[in-house]
Amino acid sequence: MRAFIFALGFLFFVGLSFARPDLFQARSKLKDVVQHYGYITVNVTMEANLFYWMFESQGNPKTDPLVLWMTGGPGCSSELALFFENGPYTVDANGNLTPNPFSWNKNANLIYIDQPVGTGFSYASSDYIHDEAQVAQEMYSFLQLFLQQYPQYAKLPFFVTGESYGGHYVPAVGAAIVQGNSNNQGLFINLQAIAIGNGWVDPYTQYGAYGTYAYAHNLIDQGTYSQMNQTYAQCQQYISQQDWDDADDTCNTLLETVLEEAGNINVYNIDLQCNPPPLCYDLSNITNYLNEPSVQQQLGVASQGITWEACSDDVNSQFGVDRLQSFSFDVPLILKAGVRVVVYSGDLDLICNWMGGYEWVTAMSWSGQTAFVNAPQVTWHVSGNSAGMAQTAQGLTFVRVYQAGHMVPHDQPANALALLANVLNNTPFK
């Protein structure tokens, strides 16, 4: 989906810690929150440095959980989520920061990471990461080094979250943590749950949902739907044969077919128009802010000479085969370790739509599959209002979030914060 940017050796790290840095203090009215940001070097040979930006909890940072957020793409910066979805600030056209009342650091210590290298402010000698094995290895290295540098967070309950291509990242990183803990490799990471938002997890299954979803929402007619089903059968065959070139050519026509008939819809929220393409949202305030010399100087990134961009085509182009592979196989391993899994999907999203999400979750082979398929679907309420549908069994939960698109925290911020609370506190969706 390229058109829609949805080995441990000797390691060292550098980082910065600031309590209400002057720059941010002057621009915002956020209460005192300790921030940490900087680089951690995860591969000396490749000069690979991952940029992170962490905000301590506005509640009790000493005991509140630690949450990692990974934006997808691949190649899209997590600063997108920070300023556009679930971070402590939004930014206006004048570069002024305004507190977000629904920030995910209300009761959690929250880390945003630019990965893989080449994404956002992260850099290396080349864009050499091209699959989830490499993503998992370098993210595991990052977490080990981060927790060494900030030991005050090392024993806190830990959660891995992400969105879109995070459907690949989150299972891969979660499985790496489970495996590392099992092997007594480095610091024990107190992983409690993973959460995947509108994730691209199992292409073999999810490609088929483009036709189903589009037809159900009157974006295509019956004839186009029938044609797409035939194309999807060929797409599945190519994926099964690992004929990646033909799979890429065939499978990607499915979304293109919908757009040819539906017109200028926003693939991330079908109730909206795409303005401007290809990302369909105006991100200029964020882009301008993060490229201000004073901001880059404060963040410690100015010396790298990086022009921040929301999504990197160079990074995205490295993941051609990875994009077609499924990472649903990591989920049973995570569940078997007693780590909960929450898959949530805004129901106005086309590109990683809830129908495909629900289908791969129910089709996934694991010890609790029968129990999950037979579990009741219940209405999830937030503040007495219907917020979605949820289904849970044996540690696995699927949530359809009503009236939200690809970026649930942007479209339904209060409900997204409530969803996070359910994940962190292991409370039922009801």
User: What positions carry a catalytic annotation?
Assistant: 164, 349, 406
Specify the length of the chain in residues.
430
Sort residue 280 into left (φ over 0), alpha (ψ -120 to 50) or beta: left
Closest-CA residue to 132 (of 38, 199, 53): 199
Token digits of residue 159: 């959660």
Q: Are 394 and 332 in contact (CB under 8 A)?
A: no
Residue 150 φ/ψ, nearest 5 degrees: -125, 70
Token digits of residue 371: 């129990």
Q: Where are the alpha helices (DSSP H) in 183-290?
A: 203-206, 209-216, 222-240, 244-262, 284-290
Token digits of residue 316: 């995205």
Please state, in angstroms and as integers, the Cα–Cα distance from residue 80 to each residue in 112, 151, 256, 369, following that order: 10, 27, 25, 35
* C-alpha to C-alpha distance for 156 and 383, rounded to whole angstroms: 28
* Residue 126 CB-half CA count within 13 A: 7
CA 212 to chain centre: 24
* C-alpha to C-alpha distance for 247 and 185, rounded to whole angstroms: 37
* C-alpha to C-alpha distance for 84 and 285, rounded to whole angstroms: 10
The residue with tokens 């940001």 is 37
Closest-CA residue to 201 (of 334, 84, 381, 110): 334
Residue 142, H or E segment: helix 132-149
DSSP β-ladder status, 396-401 and 385-393:
antiparallel
Question: DSSP letter at 73?
Answer: T
Q: Where are the alpha helices (DSSP H) in 16-131?
A: 22-27, 79-81
Q: Are 164 and 199 in contact (CB under 8 A)?
A: yes
